[in-house]
Amino acid sequence: MRRYQGEALPDQPKISLIVNDSLGNFVAGVALAQCFVSHYQGASVTLWCGKRVIEFDGSIPGVAHFIPFLGSSMREMLAVASDYEADLVVNMERDSWAKTLATVVAGPGGSVVGSALAEDARGELTLASGDRGELWVDQNWIAEDLLDKYPGLMGRHIVDVFAYLCHLPGGLRSYLLPQSPAKIPVPDLVISTAASLPEKLWPTSHWIEFVHVMHARGLSVGLVGAKPSDQAKFWQGADEETTLLAQTGIQDLRGVLSLPQVVWLLSKAKLVFTLDNGILHLACATETPTVGLFRPGISRLWAPPFPNLQVLEPQGGAKVSDLSVSQAILAVDKFQRSLSLF
């Protein structure tokens, strides 16, 4: 096993990507897989991910194999990994389980991008030389001057960063995800109010006021997200959703649809208004206008530079919760006008 330094890969290389199964990370992993397939003819990409996104298995463009290492038995997964030989392993995570998996999947002959243990398990694999090694250590990937510090970067999105670490000549092009139609009424406006961290949340009172304004404009509104039991287990905002539904009567679509059906729903809506969460990334795989609420600076790394996404973030050190309803409505209206939607 060795650190990848841009050496030529074999014909039809076997590439493994290790990524968390939170939707944002997953979509980034899929986009990186598609970069590899575009660059290496005949590449076979295996996505080591998790059971929370297993509904996409078998239909992900650019991904030949999907292995749910998160949510499965570690003993079982180590046995699977031991039988797998990759030419290149790209570990997009930094936790100990992902590091261990990267080391085992690479085996004695593979190359690694990202975190991995040394083959003798004494410390970590030596970093890449030059600015790619420095970039990995840096970790401040939301810095305003990132492109100045690392002039080889083609862009500052998370996929662009990993494409550079992997010596790929191009970066993020699009998000390609499978869709599956559902037999349900499609709301005009889709919202998503839960997130992984409390500092991403917008006050419930703001959501209620926002929905009332949209209703006054004659728009139907639907709430998407995980089913309530999973919401409380993995994300923040389950109680707030209950209050929102009780006080607005909007369509409750949480846990009703499979993930490919959610992508389809988002593609059919007129507008998506959401926090920086997985739904935002699924919406960015469609052409539907999407307004996303981000914490300051985070959009530099995590907001895909697609024309259907409008970033709304607080200024002057404020928090997401400080964004007013009037600011949100203004952002929606300006974005709709810029896209000539009315």
What is the domain-level CATH number for residue 144?
3.40.50
Look at residue 231 in the predicted model and tell me its pLDDT.
66
Q: How far is CA 334 from the centre of its chain?
A: 26
DSSP 190-203: EEE--BSSGGG---
Instruction: Tell me the residue type at 103.
Output: T
* Residue entry with tokens 């679509």: 253
- Residues with Cβ within 8 Å of 27's Cβ and at least 6 positions away in sequence, in order, are 175, 177, 278, 281, 282, 284, 285
Look at residue 121 in the predicted model and tell me its pLDDT.
81
**Residue 169: exposed, middle, or buried by beta-carbon count in 10 A (0-12, 13-18, 19+)?**
exposed
Residue where a domain stops, chosen among 98, 133, 165: 165
Q: Which two tokens stand for residue 139?
A: 């970790």
Sheet with 251-252: strands ordered across: 251-252, 221-223, 189-192, 271-275, 290-293, 309-312
CA distances from 103 to 97, 133, 201 (A): 10, 18, 37
Residue 159 and residue 303: Cα distance in Å, rounded?
A: 11
Residues 12 and 143 in one domain: yes
Look at residue 228 in the predicted model and tell me its pLDDT.
75
Pick from 218, 327, 199, 314: nearest CA to 273: 327
Residue 236 located in a structural domain: yes
Largest CA distance in the chain: 65
pLDDT digits (tens, 9 = 90+) for 234-281: 656 678 898 999 999 999 999 999 999 999 999 999 999 999 999 999
> Which helix (H) or strand (E) element contains residue 226?
none
- What value, to the nearest 5°, has the Cα angle with vertex 281 and ends 229 and 106? 90
User: What value does the mean pLDDT of the chain take?
Assistant: 93
Residue 230 located in a structural domain: yes
Residue 216 located in a structural domain: yes
Share of the chain above pLDDT 90, in %: 85
Residue 36 and residue 71: Cα distance in Å, rounded?
A: 26
Buried/exposed code over 156-168 (b: 16+ C-beta within 10 A; e: otherwise)? bbbbbbbbbbbbb
Residue 254 and residue 261: Cα distance in Å, rounded?
A: 12
Instruction: Tell me the residue type at 165.
Output: L
Question: Which three-class secondary structure state does DSSP give residue 139?
Answer: coil
Look at residue 250 in the predicted model and tell me its pLDDT.
97
Look at residue 94 in the predicted model and tell me its pLDDT.
94
pTM score of the predicted model: 0.94
Residue 164 and residue 136: Cα distance in Å, rounded?
A: 11
Per-residue pLDDT, averaged over 86-93, amounts to 98
Pick from 1, 69, 66, 2: nearest CA to 30: 66
Residues 115 and 234 in one domain: no
Residues 160 and 196 in one domain: no
Residue 341 and residue 8: Cα distance in Å, rounded?
A: 47
Residues 260 and 312 in one domain: yes
Look at residue 189 in the predicted model and tell me its pLDDT.
97
Q: For residue 303, give its domain range.
A: 189-338
Q: What is the CATH number of the domain that holds 237?
A: 3.40.50.2000
Residue where a domain stops, chosen among 132, 165, 198: 165
Using pLDDT thresholds of 50, 70 and 90, give the confidence band for residue 340. low
Look at residue 336 in the predicted model and tell me its pLDDT.
80
CA distances from 251 to 167, 181, 185, 211 (A): 46, 18, 9, 11
Residues 332 and 194 in one domain: yes
DSSP 241-278: HHHHHHHH--EE-TTTS-HHHHHHHHHHSSEEEEESSH
Q: Percentage helix, strand, coil, to 5, in the chain?
A: 40, 15, 45
Question: Which three-class secondary structure state does DSSP give residue 174?
Answer: coil
Report the number of secondary-structure helices (H) and strands (E) in the chain: 13, 12
Residues 318 and 245 in one domain: yes
Look at residue 342 in the predicted model and tell me its pLDDT.
44
pLDDT digits (tens, 9 = 90+) for 105-131: 999 999 999 999 998 888 999 998 899
Look at residue 170 in the predicted model and tell me its pLDDT.
87
Residues 117 and 247 in one domain: no
